[in-house]
Amino acid sequence: MAPINSGERGLQLRNLDDMWRFAKYACTSGLTPKGVTTPEAAVIALQCGFELGMGPMASLQSIAVINNRPTLFGDAMLAVCRSSGFFDDGAFEESHRGSGDETHNACTVRRLGASKAITRTFSIADAKKASLWGKQGPWSQYPKRMLQMRARSWALRDAFPDVLKGIYCAEEVIDIPPSRPVPSGGSRVESLAARLSAPVPDPPYDPPTEAEQAEAAPGQPSFTDAAGDAEPQAESQVDPDVDAAEGKDDEVATDAQILETECMEMVAGAVDTEYLDSFDAGVKTDKRLPAAAKKRLLKASKERRAELTAK
């Protein structure tokens, strides 16, 4: 077994074998965070961290697995952007201002070479609109910190999408409802395919009596012959397409809820009406959202537009 090299900043994992061995040691030590409890999960966390420029231990300590997706804690997200070489430290500013529902956190960042800085805010009113304010957990224990992390996440993701590579902030993802658990033995697609391919049982046939036939069609001859055997009636079938559609609605209901929650947060963080114009157009054409969800989102967008116009 080849040794793992080390340098000034610790172990240097050169290949998948080195990552696997390190992951096993980390999991056995018990120092991995919640959600990273197997060597396989640790290897994925290491890879996510490497792509963001972090070392092995920083990757394991900074990446949290929430709702089966890797995320970065807010401080680590800021550290990754600062070490990217594109971060303007002189323009970085975070503030907590306002009173009542207008109390908000603002985060201003600027990318080197960009013509202007980016500022994103998140207020108590925004949190209430997204059903976050007073929610059990961090929103009740550390509300100021949660406002700060939400504003910071939005600013950093908008200014440095190439640096963060689609990774969300842990403090943000923790508020997204988890997806419905996938049934054991396959994915949602496989589960739905199995339901669609399963044979639909025929309903039991109960031939009508002569009295029932006579009452239904007076003067018509009975369908029962002299031997007493009834001619089979047209058997009704359960429509598999209807059953499949109903099942599909059940499968995607939670996904639609997650999408609506994310869209509500986008509305709450909108800083100009041009963004809301684009948002409204996207909602109207998004086939993943049910009609009721679209109505709620467009209403929230209208209310946010009025707030921006009044300022």
Digit-by-digit pLDDT tens for the chain (311 residues) are: 677 777 666 777 888 998 999 999 999 998 888 778 899 989 999 999 899 989 888 898 888 888 778 888 878 999 999 999 999 999 999 999 999 999 999 999 999 999 999 999 999 999 999 889 988 888 999 999 999 999 999 999 999 999 998 888 888 888 877 655 544 455 555 555 555 555 655 555 556 666 666 665 555 554 444 444 444 444 445 444 444 444 444 444 467 787 788 788 888 877 778 778 878 888 888 888 888 989 998 999 899 888 888 87
* Structural Rg of the chain based on CA atoms: 29
Neighbours of 26 (CB within 10 A): 21
One-letter amino acid at 249 equals D
The whole-angstrom separation of Cα 59 and Cα 48 is: 7
The whole-angstrom separation of Cα 139 and Cα 147 is: 9
Supply 111's token pair. 């990318």
The answer to whether the CB of 277 falls within 8 A of the CB of 309 is no
Supply 289's token pair. 């959202």
Q: Where are the domains of the chain?
A: 11-66, 86-173, 241-311
